[in-house]
Amino acid sequence: MKVGIIGSGGREHAICSLIKKSKNVKKIYCIPGNAGTAQIAKNLDININDFDKIKNCIIENEIELLIVGPEEPLVKGIVDFLQDTPVKVFGPNKAASQLEGSKTFTKNLCQKYKIPTAKFGIFKNSTESKKFLENSNYPMVIKADGLAAGKGVYISENQEDAFRAIDEIFNGKFGVANNLLIEEFLEGEEMSFFVVCDGSTIKSFETAQDHKRVLEGDKGGNTGGMGAYSPSRLINETLEKKILDKIIKPTLEGLKNLGIEYKGFLYAGLMIKDNEPYLIEYNVRMGDPECQTILPKLETELLDIILCICDQNLNKLNIQWNKKKSICIVLCSKGYPNAYKKNVLIENISKIDVDENNFCFHAGTNLSDNKIFAIGGRVLNLVSISDNFSNARKKIIIELEKLNWINGFYRKDIGHKVIDK
């Protein structure tokens, strides 16, 4: 089988690595890929939103399965665009992808089906947004409505912070903003909960806790994710049942009532308080870096899972997991999440130990003249699996110290809630 993977991040390198393990895979094409995928697949320099070129590429290379990694092509409707081709496309269609593409769509769905979430208001301009906040209690959460690469969320401690967030959103920091959401601040601890769905069958797909803030101690600005650990320390059988019964199942049932079938990964960002789940937001793909943290623990072939979802045979598959602990630490370019230098040489990558328990997934990297250069804010994802979280984190830090990349930085406290408690 020939497989195509859309995306260029650590998530896509992790997916590519697992797909490569299958004996049924003849060749993998990454669109556009990175320096890591270039070593195990053929990279194709095509924009992820150029659907016509992607379609031609599928036909020319006789690609039989296309896995869509990032959210943007899904929200823009790549699954629908390719439905008249013989290729199997893994991911939800445009209508289902509204769960991530439109926060107002998701919030209204939650309201209709009584899915536990923060109280909210939807506002169309800065004047009415600011008027609403004049008599509000802080902190408040301000969200851009639409795709914002995981960064369009502000936790505002006072009116000045909130007004600044509103101005940035409506001034186009995250693209054209027709709406913004203002939500109550939920107390508790966050958890990433994943399922896979084939349109009828739902199966849990591990948990993780992401670390969004750029600085140690969960301080500083929001990022796409500085690291993660899996499984979440919060998960238990009772909580998992509540998440499925109160949040996941009503959501998918609500979509079905709208004539929308959901197929693919579904990622619920949750707030947990007193073992009760509240939905923060949905993503219609695997998280990043949660994907890199979770997938190395998967014992069932990822290709088998994806094909079962495409063929609506997920009920016949029993998904098996390694019971060990996993941690991912993201190496970033200095300056991230703000301005940073690009095309910076990374030496010593060959010194990093990689084996069945230790992984190095590339994110913002490029291969040129057999040298690896950093071209993104998040550059490398180092993952380690161990019997305990502390040993996994120690192993990664040893490897990062060997790399000794003076143009980068990373958080040394990833997993602090399970290690440093």
pLDDT values of the chain reduced to their tens digit, one per residue, 421 residues: 999 999 999 999 999 999 999 999 999 999 999 999 999 999 999 999 999 999 999 999 999 999 999 999 999 999 999 999 999 999 999 999 999 988 889 989 999 999 999 888 888 888 888 888 877 788 988 888 766 555 578 888 888 889 988 988 888 777 666 788 888 888 999 999 999 999 999 999 999 999 999 999 999 988 999 999 999 999 999 999 999 999 999 999 999 999 999 999 999 999 999 999 999 999 999 999 999 999 999 999 999 999 999 999 999 999 999 999 999 999 999 999 999 999 999 999 999 999 999 999 999 999 999 999 999 999 999 999 999 999 999 999 999 999 999 999 999 999 999 997 6
Domain assignment of residue 348, yes or no: yes
Token look-up 């990374």 returns: 346
The phi, psi pair for 109, rounded to 5°, reads -65, -45
Q: Which pLDDT score is estimated for 148?
A: 57
CATH no. for residue 249?
3.30.470.20
Side chain identity at residue 188, one-letter code: G
3 has which bridge partners? 28, 65
Query: For the chain, what is the domain count?
Result: 4
Q: Residue 104 domain-assigned?
A: no
Any domain includes 111: no
Positive or negative: CA dihedral 279, 280, 282, 283: negative
Using CB atoms within 10 A of its CB, is residue 404 exposed (0-12), middle (13-18) or buried (19+)? Answer: exposed
Residue 43: inside a domain: yes
98 lies in some domain = no
**Do 203 and 132 share a structural domain?**
no
Same domain (yes/no): 368, 384: yes
* β 189-198/65-68 pair status: unpaired
Q: Within this chain, do residues 298 and 246 fall inside the same structural domain, yes or no?
A: yes
pLDDT on residue 176: 67
The CATH number of the domain holding residue 81 is 3.40.50.20
Which pLDDT score is estimated for 345? 97
Clarify whether residues 228 and 330 are in a common domain.
Answer: no
Q: pTM of the predicted model, to two decimals?
A: 0.92
Q: Assess if residue 84 is contained within a domain.
A: yes
Task: Give the structural domain span for 154.
Answer: 119-184
Radius of gyration of the chain (CA): 21
State the Cα–Cα distance between residues 287 and 70, nearest whole angstrom: 9
| Cis bond upstream, residue 337 (ω within 30) | yes
Nearest Cα to Cα of residue 385 among 312, 253, 270, 297: 297
Task: Go through the chain and tell me how many residues it has.
Answer: 421
- Amino acid (1-letter code) at residue 92: P
Q: Could you write out the DSSP letters of every residue in 252-289?
A: HHHHHHTT---EEEEEEEEEEETTEEEEEEEESS--TT
Looking at the fold, whether 179 and 197 belong to one and the same domain comes out as no
Both tokens assigned to 389? 């979280």
Q: Does 213 share its domain with 250?
A: yes
- Final residue of a domain: which of 316, 350, 381? 316
Domain shared by 364 and 379, yes or no: yes
Residue 196's pLDDT is 98
Residues 143 and 159 in one domain: yes
Distance (Å) of CA 128 to CA 89, 105, 111, 118, 303: 42, 20, 22, 20, 49
Best CA proximity match to 394, nearest among 372, 381, 376, 412 = 412
Residues 309, 223 within the same domain: yes
Residue at which a domain ends, from 131, 164, 184: 184
Domain's final residue, options 262, 290, 316: 316
CATH code of the domain covering residue 401: 3.90.600.10
Identify whether 96 is part of a domain: no
Based on the fold, state whether residues 209 and 248 are members of the same structural domain: yes
Tell me: do 284 and 203 sit in the same domain: yes
Query: What CATH number is attached to the domain comprising 130?
Result: 3.30.1490.20
Q: Are residues 254 and 359 in the same domain?
A: no
Q: Is residue 97 part of a domain?
A: no
